[in-house]
Chains A and B, each alone.
Chain A
Amino acid sequence: MILVAVGVFVIGIGFSVLWSFTSSKLFPTYDFVGLAQYRRLWADSRWLVSVNNIWFFGLMSITCNMVFGYLLAVFMDQRIRQEDLFRSIFLYPFAMSLIVTGLVWQWVLDPNLGLQAALRNLGWSSFSFAPLVDADTALYALVVAGIWQGSGVTMAILLAGLRGVDEEIWKAARVDGIPTWRTHMSIVAPMMKGAFATAFVLQCVSVVRVYDLVIAMTGGGPGIATSMPAVYVIQLITVRQNVGQGMAAATMMLLPVLVVLAFGGILLWRRNREASA
């Protein structure tokens, strides 16, 4: 099965690269046009905006998600009451279809319907809150919604990692007189490498592939301000019926991922070799 899966991904990506050199529109064709699609891609302001956005969005959302997820996990680990309830609350957004939850967020952030209207009704008439209408704040709104949707999963994985740390390590640290925060920073967090790695990879995957969130929250707008590479790719392939350029965008999008993975792989390989030597 692993071979089949890898085969599907490799063949799929192979075809995508191949089609990126063709003039395919609605259906893939083999009418090769060289690098024309790439030239058009990098001349498209929407793609350029998308590329800029993904770095900002990725950095913000992965950082916030990991920090917030870890904080939640640590706090949940303090023998609190109603842990099950809290955990379910933090996890539920993961189970809900974004089509509608995105709409609800949109309502909440809509100045005439949501928070602004509610607080003004309560008498705070100068309160102003319309993040989605402004290109800069719309990206932050996306980050916040992303945290809302994804940090529960991060929390669960990290909480699981925390629970996986040998109880006796905590005891030993207490006997040694190490303060709780210091135990977290110096002993426990480094022990949770596996959990952090899993959560981190999941986060990266969801950032690179971010689509539903953008469509549901901002539709890529205002204008094209919150467009992302995956949104661009998918819309080119489906709505815009421009498979060739969409595949060129997909190839450009996956290239950095491949470089990072290959780099990581080489590092790991060299470390393993040193360790075994």
Chain B
Amino acid sequence: MRYKLLTAALAATAALQFAGPAAAADLEVIHWWTSKGESAAVSQFAKAFDNDGHGDKWVDSAVALGETARSTVMQRVLGGDPPGAAQFNPGRQYEELISGGKLLDLTDVATAGKWDEVIRPKAIGSACLVDGHWWCVPVNIHSNYWAWYSKPVFEKAGVPEPKSLADFIAAAPKIKEAGLIPFAIGGDGNGWQIQLLFQDMVTEALGVAKRDEMYTKKSAEIAGGPEMKGVFTQLRTLKQFTDNGYANRNWNDTTNLVITGKAGLQVMGDWARGEFAAAGMTGVKDFGCMIGLNEDKPVISTDGDIIVFFKQDNPDVEAAQKRLAALLISPEVQVAFNNAKGSMPVRGDVDMSTADPCMQKSLKAVENPSNIVTATNRFITENTNQQINELVSQYFADDSMTADDATAKFSTIIGNSD
């Protein structure tokens, strides 16, 4: 109902600019791409949609912070005023929207565009494919599983650059002796950075198959097993190598410790390249990037962003929504968007030769299906996710909690997850 108001309000402007057919529509898109680089990326989408030849118009509703943007979307849905489209992370954040019948079924667009063939890896497509129907469009892949290190720090400490987490742990005491922070991490946002590290270590320790089994079967047994205890023990070891300023530090400031040569290594998703680039540094040359926690066993997690479309009672709008859905996945838009965003495209048949060396590593790795790790969020709800956040950050902060306690608690969380 409000949508009509908006359409009416903007119709005049639209009519002046485009002498398009009557079926043209304005689509409001809620997303949290608000930083400078993200802005450049999202405007690739917007530009393409505005110029799709139908007179459509992208109405940009940016709301910083994923949880804030998602809350806004949910509240709008509840108020009967959903936006035309919205950004989500692949996972279970939107499953209630699907079961509640709030989302537009994109299956016909997907069939026409042969999404099941072009989208790779399969895991990223499966985030949108529920019960044989497509409910969203994956737009990019961000892998959480990266480690970034400062070359000067390792040089100063007189240790070789690491090839794995084990290498790093061996080298860390030397870095500490050199008066530097071996391991950089931040504790903001309920400790999500710690969980990111933790999930990396879980995948490394359990192996992909066992990890997937633990999450899909909610196996308290695996979650309470010796490998998990090993992960918690290793986490405690890493804690010894961090500084006491980590509390509530955001990832940008954490990355900056590596950029300025104050800290040795940080485990963070591939978006951290953005901070290095903003500081004028190029990957491999000025800093090191390690896929996963072991260069010999690269892993790519299928995190990233997807776009959902909300059911509207207007066929014109629905047509426009489907036009946008098709556009988002088209090769030209994929290249333009992902080059600007610094993420990987969801299809392999595009030219990404201009990407930086770290990204090239990533693009190579993603082509091998055995390197692919399904995003944790696909298995667990936000509720469980936050419980894990709390557990690992509490364990990280509180040295009196033993690895056994933590393993037991983790086992309970997984066993009770929904």
Contacts and interface: CB of A to CB of B under 8 A. Distances in A.
A touching B, CB within 8 angstroms: yes
Interface of A: 25-27, 46, 103, 106, 110-113, 130, 132-133, 135, 138, 217-225, 235-236, 238-242
A135 B386 CA distance: 20
Q: Is the interface of B mostly helix, strand, loop or mixed?
A: helix
B62 to A, nearest CB: 16
| Interface band, chain B | 35 or more
Contacts of A26: 74, 96-97
B191 A221 contact: yes
B248 A218 contact: yes
A142 to B, nearest CB: 11
B208 interface: no
Interface of B: 67-68, 70-71, 74, 77-78, 93, 96-97, 100, 181, 187-191, 243-250, 257, 262, 381-383, 385-386, 390, 393-398
5 contacts: A27-B77, A130-B244, A219-B187, A222-B396, A235-B190
A239 B386 contact: yes
Contacts of A46: 390
A135 B397 CA distance: 8
B394 A223 contact: yes
Given A223-B390, A224-B390, A138 B247 contact: yes
B187 A110 contact: no
A239 B191 contact: no
B394 A133 contact: no
B244 A220 contact: no
Contact of A27 (B100, B250, B386, B390): B100
Contact of A222 (B181, B262, B393): B393
A246 to B, nearest CB: 10
A187 to B, nearest CB: 46
A223 B71 CA distance: 24
A226 to B, nearest CB: 9
Given A26-B74, A223-B191, A223-B397, A133 B246 contact: yes
Contact of B245 (A110, A224, A236, A238): A110
Contact of A241 (B68, B181, B382, B394): B382
B162 to A, nearest CB: 23
B248 to A, nearest CB: 5
A242 B386 CA distance: 11
Contacts of B395: 223
Contact of A220 (B190, B249, B262, B398): B190
B251 to A, nearest CB: 12
A218 B247 contact: yes
Given A133-B397, A222-B187, A235-B190, 5 more contacts: A25-B381, A27-B78, A223-B395, A236-B383, A240-B385
A135 B394 CA distance: 10
A240 B92 CA distance: 11
A27 B74 contact: yes
B390 A111 contact: no
A240 to B, nearest CB: 5
A219 B248 contact: yes
B397 A27 contact: no
Contacts of A132: 245, 247-248
Nearest to A238: B71
Contact of A238 (B67, B257, B381, B390): B67
Contacts of B243: 111-112
A238 B386 CA distance: 11
B69 to A, nearest CB: 11
A138 B398 CA distance: 13
A241 B398 contact: no
A64 to B, nearest CB: 22
